[in-house]
Structure 1
């Protein structure tokens, strides 16, 4: 299976402009940009043939080329990372069996998350898309709740059926649970990790699908697949002691830097 990883990196984020160029300090104290840390995370996964940063901004182009990344320039009209991945696939001429979208705000993505998605699509011919979900412990669930209480849009949660087919994704905390859980205790809430593995036909079809009301309300690109009847398989992954969080808001920077240090990531 030929696997392409695309890292969509947009400068003009509404919530956090310039986010891909934010400097993050790791375990050694060295500062590296968010887009570089995401690229390094992608390159750590086994079974990946090519990693490309996809952007529409020359500042990100120059930064990515500076640390040795291959870059695809995409149009400013891409509405989200999935559309940017689709445009990148066409620009590269296709030729891949699986396209992975490792979003540029997830530098803590462990390589085994990406590897699980590749294996999941290989083993499940009925799935159009695969995406990882991580069972929240009490600490991470408390982080979700604190974000919502403060009015911040934080991470995304997912619910899925017995066959692992996604039922819904939300920026609210779903399913509802009023329980109070110790830091290390498992909870019934699953954190959706913003990584996707697509079959090329599903990815190529995506830009032509009309965004539905749920996608527009939640601001979650994966809901377009669900609203148009595409099967999204949720692959449960294990933390293996690695903390995980996405960089959604400026307030997340110290949290992610602490997690980089905890994980020993330089």
Structure 2
């Protein structure tokens, strides 16, 4: 299967304007922008035929081209990363069996997460979209529950059928469990990781659909596929002890830099 990786990146983030151009210091003391680190993560994935940055901003385009990335300019009307991936795919003329959305704010995404998604689509012909999920241990689950008690939105959780087809994604903690789990104990709750692999037919249809009530309420772009009856595969992945985090707010910068130092990430 031929694979295109698209890294959607926009300047006008409501929570953190200019986020793709923020510099992060790695374990060696070298500073690299968030968009470069995300591009390096994409190029580490095996079995990929092409990697592009999709943006609507001239500054991001210039910075990405300066470190050797291919850039596709997209419109400012894209409301989320999936819409921007669809526009970039069209601009390139199609021609790929799988399109991966590797978000431009997740530079520590392990390469095997993406490789597992591609294999998931290969192995499940019914699936039109694949996305990774991680089984929470007690520590992670209790962190999610604490966030909700304090009226904070933490991670997104996922529930799915026995054949791993998604039933729902939520910013609430689902499914409900009354048990209290120890820190290292496996739980029935799965944390959704915001990476996607699409078949072109589903990706091409996505921008033509209006956002439904569930997507609007939860603020989760993947629910649009489900609200329109498309099959979304949840691929359970193993972090292998690797730390990763998305950069959503300025306070996430020191957290990411600390993770990179601890992992020896350059």
In which range does the TM-score fall when normalised by the shorter chain? over 0.9
Residue in 2 that maps onto 1:216: 216
State whether structure 2 residue 12 is matched by structure 1 residue 12.
Answer: yes
Q: Within 5 Å, which residues of 2 pair with 1:170-189?
A: 170-189=170-189
**Cα displacement string for residues 10-57 of structure 1 (whole angstroms, at most 9, x for unaligned residues):** 111112222212222222222222111111111111000100000001
Q: Within 5 Å, which residues of 2 pair with 1:94-109?
A: 94-109=94-109
Change (3 A) 1:191 1:162: same
Q: Within 5 Å, which residues of 2 pair with 1:142-161?
A: 142-161=142-161
Partner of 2:83, secondary structure, is helix
Partner of 1:242, secondary structure, is coil
Aligned-residue offset at 1:105: 1.4
Shifted more, 116-125 versus 253-262: the winner is 253-262
State whether structure 2 residue 263 is matched by structure 1 residue 232.
Answer: no
**RMSD value over aligned CA atoms?**
1.6
Structure 1: distance between partners of 2:248 and 2:178: 25
Structure 1: distance between partners of 2:261 and 2:30: 11
Structure 1: distance between partners of 2:9 and 2:209: 22
State whether structure 2 residue 56 is matched by structure 1 residue 56.
Answer: yes
Change (3 A) 1:81 1:155: same
Q: Which runs of 5+ in 1 are unaligned?
A: none
Check whether the contact 1:128–1:231 (CA below 8 A) recurs between aligned residues: yes
Partner of 2:250, secondary structure, is coil
Number of equivalent positions: 266
Partner of 1:207, secondary structure, is helix
Structure 1: distance between partners of 2:178 and 2:259: 27
TM-score by length of 1: 0.94
